[in-house]
Structure formats: structure tokens, C-alpha cells
Amino acid sequence: MNEVKSFLGTGWSFPPEFNKVDNSVQMVGDIADIEDSIRIILSTTPGERIMQPEFGCDLKRLVFETIDSTLLASLDHLIYHALLNFEPRITFLNTEVLNLDSPDGRLLIQINFKVIITNTRHNIVFPFYLLEGTNVSSV
């Protein structure tokens, strides 16, 4: 296993990757570990994890919603509470939707946060698809 030591935390890369030479798990640390953790939290629907049924963020219930101020407030609220409950290393600052007029049904959500122990600001962009499964064609 390749050693990654970080005072911010160390974990498996997401998605998991394995070294072809020694079959060890690819590890990440520092801000990359926090970013992977945020992506996992936002991609998990509550109830998916058997031993942690409350874990995740219920973003999927907003699929097919109209893009308006109510949707933006709901996104901000859901993300805030999910990160507050499941990522103790950061302080959530806000969300910004980068492409409000996207015709393809995809919103890019920029999540701004501060790492508590280092007091540094960071952000990640999370893609949220409003039209899940609509690009399926009939044969």
C-alpha cells in the first residue's frame, strides 16, 4: 500500500484505483481527500448505505424540477446540511450555479468551503443532472 500521510486525513481515491504492480490501493490525502469525500456525500442518496441510512445528500429528489430561485435555495440547503453532518473538516460557505441557462439539463454547482484546520478557502464543481435518463433512444 502506498503511504500518504496528511494531517487533513488520508483515504482511498475515488473512484477506487489499484496499483497494477503490487495491487495496492491508490491513496489520497490533504485537500484531494476532502474533495473526494464531498463528491461521495453528494452522490449518495440517504438510505443507500445499510449501516448509515442517513448518510448522503438527497439531491436526486430535485431532478426534473424547474430551474428557479426555489431550486437554487433547495440545492444550497441540502448541500449545506449534508456537509455539516458528514464532513467535519470543512465549513460550508455557499453554492453557486455556474450555468443557469444550460439546455442539456446539467447544472454545474460550485461549492465553496473553508478547511477548518488550515483556514484556507477552496471550491469544487459538482455536476448535477436535472434530466436523468432522458437521452435513452428507442431502437
Interval 17-53: pLDDT, tens: 787 888 888 777 788 889 989 999 999 999 999 999 9
Residue length, the chain? 139
Domain coordinates in residue numbering, the chain: 10-129
| CATH level 2 (architecture), domain 10-129 | Roll (3.10)
Chain mean position to CA 35: 7
| This prediction's pTM | 0.79
Around 114, how many Cα atoms within 13 Å sit in the side-chain half-sphere?
Answer: 8
Name beta bridge partners: 127: 108
Per-residue pLDDT of 115-130, as tens digits, reads: 998 899 999 998 887 6
Q: What is the DSSP letter of 89?
A: T
